[in-house]
């Protein structure tokens, strides 16, 4: 059947702020930036993966989106998870760039994880193999 992830999203409270964070801090690359009324169809992809899965930086305009995002963050639940080669190195690099973490590198069985605040209402988990 060959099902693959093509597009997923995170709700953001400000697309411009989200774009800055996801590109300048996390290193994603813009794939689509198409004006749609007061918002944009704004997707990013991993560096070196122009045809890889896209992350939509989706405005949190739907009434359920704000409540959902706030509830996840309040409970410490990441809205998304991304893989890195080395969590400890990513933690050091991103901390040096001013990224705020809510969880320091933590071993969880076969992986190591950290959780960061994306400044747009979400907690994001990074993981790597231990």
Over residues 12-55, the pLDDT tens digits come to 999 999 999 999 999 999 999 999 999 999 999 999 999 999 99
pTM: 0.95
- State yes or no: pLDDT of 1 exceeds 90: no
113 in Cβ contact with 127 (< 8 Å): yes
In the sheet that 39-45 helps form, which strands lie side by side, from edge to edge?
7-12, 54-59, 39-45, 29-36
| Ordered domains of the chain (ranges, CATH) | 7-129 (3.10.180.10)
**Burial track 43-55 (b if 16+ CB lie within 10 A, e otherwise):** bbbbeeeeeeebb
- How confident is the model at residue 22, as a pLDDT? 98
Over residues 55-70, the pLDDT tens digits come to 999 999 999 999 999 9
- The SS3 call for residue 9 is strand
Alpha helices in the chain (DSSP H): 15-20, 63-74, 87-96
Average pLDDT over every residue of 81-110: 97
């Amino acid at each position: 059947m060959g099902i693959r992830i093509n597009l997923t999203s995170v709700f953001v409270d400000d697309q411009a702020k989200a774009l800055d964070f996801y590109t300048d801090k996390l290193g994603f690359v813009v794939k689509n930036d198409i004006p749609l009324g007061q918002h944009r169809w704004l997707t990013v992809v991993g560096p070196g993966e122009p045809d890889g899965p896209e992350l939509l930086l989706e405005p949190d305009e739907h009434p359920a989106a704000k409540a959902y995002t706030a509830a996840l963050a309040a409970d410490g639940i990441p809205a998304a998870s991304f893989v890195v080669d080395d969590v400890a190195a990513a933690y050091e690099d991103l901390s040096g760039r001013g990224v705020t973490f809510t969880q320091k590198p933590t071993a969880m069985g076969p992986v190591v994880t950290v959780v960061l605040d994306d400044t747009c209402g979400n907690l994001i988990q990074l993981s790597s193999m231990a």
